[in-house]
Amino acid sequence: MPRRSDIQTRVRLAQEAARIMREQAIQDFGTAKRKARERLGLADTVPLPKNTEIEAELRRAQSLFDGDDHAARIGRLRAVAGRAMRVLAEFRPRLVGPVLAGTATEHAAVNLHLFADPAERVALALMERGIDYRSFERRLRMRNGEPLSDLPGFAFSAEGVELELTVFPEISVRQAPLSPVDGRPMRRASLRELEALLAAGD
């Protein structure tokens, strides 16, 4: 059974990591954990909190300190995502990540999953629309026991918001990668589901 002091240290680490993510617009949990441990002056041997614990603290801090500003930010980011999804409808886009979860911090990117064979079809569609993009690769785990997959992606800015498009083979539309937060299949929202969220003001 964990000692009381260990539990308290874990909570402090989760709170500090959440504060770093909120204030520095960091989206990577591992980076936030390491920065939190350094900031608190803790040894490398101190166990780190789970990502779910940090996300819970992040939600709590955003609700407590950001209130209406945070809700407005999420609404705006989701609206931008919706417009991008309409433009890229042929690739069956899905919204994922902090914007969908409602935990996006300031300057967070909108993350979309697109489906195309080959991935270059997405690049061509962006060029045809006069969108200046940059390429990247994203490493995701599709299922337990499978190696990480390096997937192509394209990023660009629209309406002052960074959009990151990760392109999957079309066969993967029904198989979501594992979430970096809880290790379960990542939540994905279609345009129809996103529009329902926007209409409900959630």
Residue-wise pLDDT for 109-159, tens only, equals 999 999 999 999 999 999 999 999 999 999 998 876 666 689 999 999 999
**Which residues in the chain belong to E strands, given as ranges?**
94-96, 110-115, 134-141, 148-158, 161-168
Selected from 3.40.140.10, 2.40.30.170, 3.40.50.970, 3.30.460.10, the CATH number assigned to the domain covering 69-200 reads 3.30.460.10
Give the whole-angstrom CA distance, residue 160 versus residue 84. Answer: 13
pTM value is 0.86
- 158-197 pLDDT tens trace: 999 999 999 999 998 988 999 989 989 999 999 999 999 9
Phi, psi of 181, deg, nearest 5: -85, -55
Q: Can you give the residue ranges of every domain in the chain? A: 4-49, 69-200
**Are 161 and 110 in contact, with CB atoms under 8 Å apart?**
yes
Candidate from 17-21, 59-63, 112-116 with smallest mean pLDDT: 59-63
**Are 99 and 80 in contact, with CB atoms under 8 Å apart?**
no
Output the pLDDT for position 4.
59
E strand or H helix that includes residue 169? none
Question: Is the predicted pLDDT of residue 24 greater than 90, yes or no?
Answer: no
